[in-house]
Amino acid sequence: MIELLFFILMLFIVAILSRRIDSIPLTPQMIFIFAGIVVGWLFTGYVDIIQPPTSTIILLIAEIALVLVLFSDASQIRLGSIELDSLTSRLLVIGLPLTIVLGIAIAIFIFTDLTFWETAIIGVVLAPTDAALGQVVVQNKRIPQLIRKSLEVESGLNDGLCVPFLLVFVAIGLAEESFSPVGYFLEVAIMQIGVGVLVGIAVGIVGSKIVIKSRDKGWITPEYQRIAFLALALLSFVIADQTGGSGFIAAFVGGLATAYVTLDARKVLMDFAEAEGQFLNLAVFFILGIVISDLIPQITWHIILYAILSLTVIRILPVTLSIIGSNIKWDSTLFMGWFGPRGLASVVLALIALERLSPFQGQETFILTVFITVFFSVIAHGITALPFSKLYLRHED
């Protein structure tokens, strides 16, 4: 109970000082992850994220957070619109696969005791970015809109695009762990992807049209319109999960389908992301801090090295290669390459992999690598968001 009390007090303090916090190199995520570490050291001790009931509670909170983020982020995108410009497309079509491949290659080189599929899962889990950790960047109107929008849209889409890759590599891992044919597990993964897409399209389109019909007839208030769209996100997840599909893919596709049908969801879900979504996000980082408090003594130089490379070379090189041939200047390329924070999506995807595969041989290395990389990212990108933005603007001027 002391953990909950501490979290609520920190939430209140951060809320009343939020404007002051925005003006210094400090982010709410940094505050909550360090608060979690302090609570872990002083009160909680070891938290077993693998065994129920703890794992069930943590996974539920994290899954709900990611489902709502996937749906709300996807709902901000109009497929075929100007938002999916050449730069964003390059980052997603070229940069994302290169990030995964490079992440796997370096993991194979550093973690020689891991199997291929274990390194593959590390590469996929640490590929998606979290723009919320560099909110100062995407909200700074002085930074060119093309750069800001590309980073924001990339972050909104790459987490959903990484889920199919994760499902495939988890399928390979299950096959190797159980000494079973890979084909069977790949069929299951493909079915999860397909069912998830179909459920997302159906729920997004049908549900959105019902909400619009209700609005036109004056049956729904603005407050409950937001609740209705949030319900569609959770409905997509639950229906897909219960019918053999991927709930995360369903939530992601459901958000895209909703944006295709109506623009109404964009404003109400943006409001959600800035309020209730932030609450869930901070809860996940607080829990992550508690977990990390016990992991710190187990960190090795291999994990530190990979975390540093993940935030630098593994991110910056693919971004640079994907932008070759465009008219983007080198300073903008480096700026975009650096601001690819790892956050909520990486944590949740790691927990999903653990739930489906645990126990496996490289489990401890996997947990440490993902969580420490996210921890480093929260600190590094939180501290540099404001000064690097000023430096970039000074160079642009």
Interval 49-72: pLDDT, tens: 555 555 677 778 888 888 988 888
Per cent of the chain over pLDDT 70 is 89
The confidence band for 80, taking pLDDT boundaries of 50, 70 and 90, is: low
Q: Determine, yes or no, domain membership for 9.
A: no
Confirm whether 244 is domain-assigned. Answer: yes
What is the chain's mean pLDDT, rounded? 86
In a domain, 6, yes or no: no
Q: Looking at residue 81, what is its pLDDT?
A: 53
For the chain, what is the HEC assignment?
A: CHHHHHHHHHHHHHHHCHHHHHCCCCCHHHHHHHHHHHHHHHHHCCCCCCCCCHHHHHHHHHHHHHHHHHHHHHCCCCCCCCCCCHHHHHHHHHHHHHHHHHHHHHHHHHCCCCCHHHHHHHHHHCCCCCHHHHHHHHHCCCCCHHHHHHHHHHHHHHHHHHHHHHHHHHHHHHHHHHCCCHHHHHHHHHHHHHHHHHHHHHHHHHHHHHHHHHHHCCCCCHHHHHHHHHHHHHHHHHHHHHCCCCHHHHHHHHHHHHHHHCCHHHHHHHHHHHCHHHHHHHHHHHHHHHHHHHHHHHCCHHHHHHHHHHHCHHHHHHHHHHHCCCCCCHHHHHHHHHCCCCCHHHHHHHHHHHHHHCCCCCHHHHHHHHHHHHHHHHHHHHHHHHHHHHHHHHHHC
| Residue 53: per-residue pLDDT | 56
Residue 380 in any domain: the answer is yes
Whole-number pLDDT of residue 83: 47
Rounded CA-CA distance 210/224 in Å is: 13
pLDDT of amino acid 52: 56
- In tens, the pLDDT along 263-277 reads 766 666 666 666 677
Q: Is 111 left (phi over 0), alpha (psi -120 to 50) or beta?
A: beta
**What is the rounded average pLDDT of the residues 212-231?**
86
Q: Considering only CA atoms, which of 128, 135, 14, 146 is closest in space to residue 385?
A: 135
Model pLDDT, residue 184: 66
Higher pLDDT, 41 or 108: 108
How many domains is the chain partitioned into structurally?
1
Summarised one tens digit per residue, pLDDT across range 95-148 is 999 999 999 999 999 999 999 999 999 999 999 999 888 778 888 888 888 888
**Residue 184 structural domain:** 37-130+138-396
Please write the tens of the pLDDT for every residue from 313-369: 999 999 999 999 888 888 899 999 999 999 989 998 998 888 888 777 888 899 999
Least Cα distance to 233 among 67, 65, 61 occurs for: 67
What CATH number did the domain enclosing 266 receive?
A: 1.20.1530
In a domain, 8, yes or no: no
Please check whether residue 73 lies inside any domain of the structure: yes
As a whole number, mean pLDDT of residues 205-230 equals: 87
The whole-number pLDDT of residue 186 equals 76
Predicted pLDDT of residue 75: 82
pLDDT at 275 (0 to 100):
67
Q: Is residue 196 part of a domain?
A: yes
pLDDT class of 82 with cuts at 50, 70, 90: very low
Residue 171 is assigned to a structural domain of this protein: yes
User: Residue 165 — very low, low, confident or very high, per pLDDT cuts 50/70/90?
Assistant: very high
